[in-house]
């Protein structure tokens, strides 16, 4: 029960993956998806990319950040240590 309360609080505080338009090196349009923080994981970036490119799919053109911690190494579902930065850059097909 305590774990559920902590996770709910963290998800509320942590928010959701955010999407911003960006420009590729060749001048094309891309989407930068930020899923940084303790409550979010890489899966949140991929889910958001699927959502914003609904029906057409997407191509990943960039990814920056550290891998997610193994679930066994998390304390109450949260990664211990530093703030995790995660950013995925995609182009909708």
Q: What is the pLDDT of residues 25-72, one digit of tens each?
A: 999 999 999 999 877 889 999 999 999 999 899 999 999 987 766 666
| Per-chain mean pLDDT for the chain | 79
**Complete DSSP assignment for 4-59:** HHHHHHHHHHH---EEEEEE-TTS-EEEEEE--SSS--HHHHHHHHHHHTTTT-EE
Residue 82: domain span: 2-92
pLDDT at 9 over 80: no
Instruction: Give CA–CA dist 39/46, Å, rounded.
Output: 15
- Lowest-confidence segment of 16-25, 38-47, 77-86 by average pLDDT: 77-86
- Cα 21 to chain centroid distance, Å, stands at 15
Q: Is the pLDDT of residue 81 over 90?
A: no
Number of domains in the chain: 1
Element (H, E) at 2: helix 2-14
pLDDT at residue 82 in the model: 60
Residue 3 parent element (H or E) = helix 2-14
Q: Does 12 have pLDDT greater than 50?
A: no
């Amino acid at each position: 029960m305590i774990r559920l309360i902590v996770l709910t609080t963290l998800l509320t505080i942590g928010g959701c993956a955010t999407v911003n338009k960006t420009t590729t090196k060749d001048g094309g349009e891309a989407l930068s998806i930020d899923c940084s923080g303790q409550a979010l994981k890489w899966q949140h970036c991929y889910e958001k990319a699927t959502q914003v490119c609904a029906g057409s799919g997407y191509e990943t053109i960039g990814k920056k950040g550290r891998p997610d911690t193994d679930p066994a190494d998390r304390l109450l579902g949260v990664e211990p240590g530093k703030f995790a930065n995660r950013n995925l850059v995609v182009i909708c097909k």
